[in-house]
Structure 1
């Protein structure tokens, strides 16, 4: 890191970091057992929450320079925020992490290829749904044209790192372009109306995971919800906020707030833990823009996860049935640690006839997906995944349920990595619940 960059970063740390929040950390160590990177790094304090906070404070105080080691420590963090619920001082670690990363990435000159990829994905693809549809369409062409079979037969995939080879194998089948284009804007309830909700459809969820979104809206209809799906909504901005692109996240937040202000609704429903967590924190994201404060707060207060509204509307008391199987649940970190949604998914799963629910040890520990973490930090991600798969094996699960697309892909990757394909499956909770509802009607 060049000296001029260090000076700029250090000054911005002094100007922008919440010093009171940094001082709020008592260094008690309660966070240590909850931090996957601290454990998997061999108990290295620089890869613990309190260690990272100490580094941030030292940069603000001028005791150390914001060098590559500081950046490395912050990059290694999953951002799972498991440290927050166990912190006796209530330190908002996730907010500190996002601010520190933003300062570094907005002031450090990145290698050309990394900057090009970041610009392409964060600024030119994720904010534009038509481009997400186009990208997913290319994946569909690759899968259906024979190119995928050819790539595997000719061992072309062996040119890529092992973790990327595994990822290629577990990518979901891309939906048809026409199905991604023809999305409903309004759906009537399929039972007596009890709520009017809006659905946050997301970018990846409404393209690569389109069947899960369809399952979600079907469940909401069956529970008695009238659904509006604003056409002008966009990417939630979570990947941007977590990756040092805070200004872009703020612009996306404003577009979403405007999109969902048009209708009088009870809740805004999400089915992706990572998206939902940032949506609930739009008021914090925009706390330095007074003209947006109240609007962001009203938006955030309406966010509710799919499992929460289904329990509220007693969907778990319907006839739900599956063929005999052992089911376990892998918490989405942000759903559990930020949205505080923990029991509702379990209540739903435990209500399914034929499904024997078994709690996995450390179900709330991060699976190692963490947005794009499993791509940019594969070694640590795979260590964390290996531990998670040990717990899934110990639970004797044949079905691993998740509530976030990244977690779903990571668990599928773990199944493939462990040679369990065909014996164990990973499934989003919305898809499993719809399968169980259909099973209950037979």
Structure 2
């Protein structure tokens, strides 16, 4: 056994206890995952930055063959968690589950600097679990945008104190709604066509604040598709940010609250419009598999999860509603989690290809990660921007006027890419929900 510090021995023991050895052994080292891994490609084919290499590192730590040192932790942290390796794995290795467990073990025993510890506590405990605080935070951003502070900060060059990527991100932020708008939306809506289903809408945290307009558009589309809709009180953040950042206990608590809230609706389906949220929600059965009170309830919950594009496709929305936009070329950037975890990629394409006036052009490697990955573009900015630059090369090759996405992180990242490329006057990025409502507003049922 490698000589280890006391902390490393503790982490190694936790790897032995908590990591799924059967899952680690399922990896056949075949390498089918390598061409699908962004960090493997971007690092010049560094094996330690591939799914196969990371699983090998996890297994070596599990077996006590290597120390869980900074190099191992760095390899795990540089992973985007896009899970593009899973659909191409012939053995069906659940890499995402292994990655989250390993990160959680490291986080449990990390000695964070005081500033980092304070930020993590604020984000994971003080902000995201509390929707009213999310509303306050976004309201402050709205005041910054509408009061003239934003223009003043730009005019004085204040933003130049930040890295280029942060400057571009500030320019790419959407105009956020007022708090009064966040509060006035109802909690139940009736179908505007022949009723096909009763659905419960998972409104999310950022989606129901910064992207409130997209949530409202989602409700309208569901109504037009023939759905009665309920938006349950008591729901909260899905927990994805916690789960991906080594805060598994926090993710579990948020999951339990959501299950409690949605059980009361008796809906046929639970609808999401954010690929990252949907993928985490649909994994609640794994997250809570060892909880005697919630394991079966989590299975029932996850069985009802559908993305908005999937239910619109299944209800033949595109065949029953006239869809028309001004002539434009559109392309699509897959949400990694929507495609790789929820296995939803045909439905959005069929919907877009049904829009008269829109010429759909498939982007090369549309299924590869854009580099957003939650807060990855903040904590791993260099790698994120490297990936984004290559993604924008693919997007520009389509000559698209509109880049369509199905996840808020992807949307902001593509807006950022448009800003970085100086294309904001000729190219836009939109959520697919907003594009569909734009296309059908002139054709109410």
Say whether the fold is shared (TM-score over 0.5). Answer: yes
Mean CA deviation greater in 112-121 or 27-36: 112-121
- Which deviations, in whole Å up to 9, do the C-alpha atoms of 1:111-143 show, x marking residues without a partner? 111111111011110010000000000000100
Cα drift, residue 15 of structure 1: 0.5
Q: Distance in 1 between matches of 2:400 and 2:39?
A: 25
Partner residue of 1:431?
434
Cα drift, residue 441 of structure 1: 6.0
TM-score (norm 1): 0.99
Partner residue of 1:388?
391
Cα drift, residue 3 of structure 1: 2.3
Mean CA deviation greater in 403-412 or 167-176: 167-176
Cα drift, residue 190 of structure 1: 1.1
Check the 8 A contact 1:325/1:355 in 2, yes or no. Answer: yes
Check the 8 A contact 2:273/2:406 in 1, yes or no. Answer: yes
- 3-state SS in 2 of match to 1:430: helix
Cα drift, residue 315 of structure 1: 0.9
Check the 8 A contact 1:324/1:355 in 2, yes or no. Answer: yes
Counterparts of 1:397-436 in structure 2, within 5 Å, are 397-436=400-439
- Which deviations, in whole Å up to 9, do the C-alpha atoms of 1:247-300 show, x marking residues without a partner? 000000000000001122110000000000011110000011122111000000
Cα drift, residue 319 of structure 1: 0.6
Counterparts of 1:260-339 in structure 2, within 5 Å, are 260-317=262-319, 318-339=321-342
Q: Distance in 2 between matches of 1:12 and 1:359?
A: 45
Check the 8 A contact 2:224/2:444 in 1, yes or no. Answer: no
Partner residue of 2:353?
350
Q: Which of 139, 147, 154 is 1:145 aligned to?
A: 147
Give the length in aligned residue pairs.
Answer: 441
Q: Which of 85, 107, 115 is 2:87 aligned to?
A: 85
Partner residue of 1:186?
188
Q: Distance in 2 between matches of 1:157 and 1:199?
A: 37
- 3-state SS in 2 of match to 1:326: strand
- 3-state SS in 2 of match to 1:84: helix
Cα drift, residue 86 of structure 1: 0.3
RMSD (Å) for aligned C-alpha atoms: 1.0
- Which deviations, in whole Å up to 9, do the C-alpha atoms of 1:299-355 show, x marking residues without a partner? 000000000000111111121000000010100000000000010000000000000
Q: Distance in 2 between matches of 1:144 and 1:124?
A: 26
Cα drift, residue 396 of structure 1: 1.1
Partner residue of 1:10?
12
Mean CA deviation greater in 284-293 or 419-428: 284-293
Q: Distance in 2 between matches of 1:278 and 1:229?
A: 19
- 3-state SS in 2 of match to 1:175: coil
Q: Distance in 2 between matches of 1:73 and 1:114?
A: 20
Check the 8 A contact 2:243/2:251 in 1, yes or no. Answer: yes
Cα drift, residue 108 of structure 1: 1.0
Partner residue of 1:117?
119
Q: Distance in 1 between matches of 2:436 and 2:145?
A: 27
Gaps of 5+ in 1: none
Q: Distance in 2 between matches of 1:67 and 1:182?
A: 51
Partner residue of 2:58?
56
- Which deviations, in whole Å up to 9, do the C-alpha atoms of 1:20-79 show, x marking residues without a partner? 100100101000000000000010011000000000000011111000000100000000
Change (3 A) 1:226 1:106: same
Q: Which of 356, 366, 382 is 1:379 aligned to?
A: 382
Check the 8 A contact 2:202/2:270 in 1, yes or no. Answer: yes
Cα drift, residue 182 of structure 1: 2.2
Q: Distance in 2 between matches of 1:301 and 1:5?
A: 40
TM-score (norm 2): 0.98
Gaps of 5+ in 2: none
Partner residue of 2:245?
243
Cα drift, residue 439 of structure 1: 4.1
Q: Distance in 2 between matches of 1:240 and 1:217?
A: 27
